[in-house]
């Protein structure tokens, strides 16, 4: 299939990349660290102001889809910059604009092989820290790191959702939304801001 990722329909995404939960892997952190260094080297630290590992692969002992989610803070003045897009494409990423989580931002994906070959998958979410809908996920991550019992509840929720929506990412994500929002608010109300 020659379509770009952003051109795929929801149904095509479901058929090509069904959601599969995998057991926790110790090497997820080192995979993130290697990709972080590659992104910093490619874009330089004048572009990459901060880079964080987020999502389930950033939390110990938590089952996950296995994709590495990376959150990158960049200056607002270079959001959607063509040079950044080209540089990320040069290291194997596909680009699209992402909406639905507050302001539109840049997202890059790598490892989504259309021929069925399994590859390590990455999502790089690139937006200034003023995009709180995304950067608040660091509160959620830190809370789950500190509260393994809550992380286990989250894992059980995702396992239940994937049994129903393995080919429907929107419904899978929607099914997690209330839990993520509740824990994020709880974390923000009692946490020290570790995003800086």
Give the pLDDT band of residue 10 (cuts 50, 70, 90): confident
Q: What are the b/e assignments for 53-73, b being 16+ CB within 10 Å?
A: bbbbbbbeebbbbbbbbbbbb
Query: What is the token pair recorded at 106?
Result: 């840049």
Under DSSP, the state recorded for 168 is -
Query: What is the token pair recorded at 73?
Result: 């803070």
Reported as a single tens digit per residue, the pLDDT across 123-152 is: 999 999 999 999 999 999 999 999 999 999
Which ranges constitute the DSSP H helices of 44-81? none
**Is beta strand 105-110 parallel, antiparallel or unpaired with respect to 94-98?**
antiparallel
Superfamily of domain 5-190: Beta Polymerase, domain 2 (3.30.460.10)
Closest CA to 91 of 30, 53, 42, 48: 42
Q: In what order do the strands lie in the sheet with 122-126?
A: 50-54, 68-73, 122-126, 105-110, 94-98
Reported as a single tens digit per residue, the pLDDT across 15-54 is: 889 999 999 999 999 999 999 999 999 999 899 999 999 9
Reported as a single tens digit per residue, the pLDDT across 51-64 is: 999 999 999 999 99
Domain boundaries, the chain: 5-190
């Amino acid at each position: 299939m020659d379509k770009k990722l952003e051109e795929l329909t929801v149904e095509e995404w479901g058929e090509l990349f069904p959601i599969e939960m995998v057991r926790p892997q110790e090497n997820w952190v080192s995979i993130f660290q290697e990709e972080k260094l590659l992104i910093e080297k490619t874009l330089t630290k004048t572009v990459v102001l901060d880079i964080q590992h987020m999502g389930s692969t950033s939390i110990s002992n938590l089952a996950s889809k296995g994709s590495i989610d990376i959150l990158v803070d960049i200056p607002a003045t270079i959001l959607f910059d063509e040079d950044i897009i080209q540089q990320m494409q040069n290291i194997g990423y596909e680009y699209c604009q992402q909406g639905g989580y507050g302001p539109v931002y840049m997202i890059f994906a790598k490892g989504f092989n259309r021929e069925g070959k399994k590859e390590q998958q990455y999502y790089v979410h690139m937006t200034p820290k003023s995009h709180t809908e995304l950067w608040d996920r660091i509160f959620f991550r830190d809370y789950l790191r500190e509260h393994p019992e809550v992380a286990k509840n989250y894992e059980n929720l995702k396992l239940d959702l994937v049994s129903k929506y393995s080919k429907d990412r929107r419904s899978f994500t929607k099914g997690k939304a209330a839990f993520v929002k509740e824990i994020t608010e709880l974390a923000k109300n009692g946490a020290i801001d570790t995003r800086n």
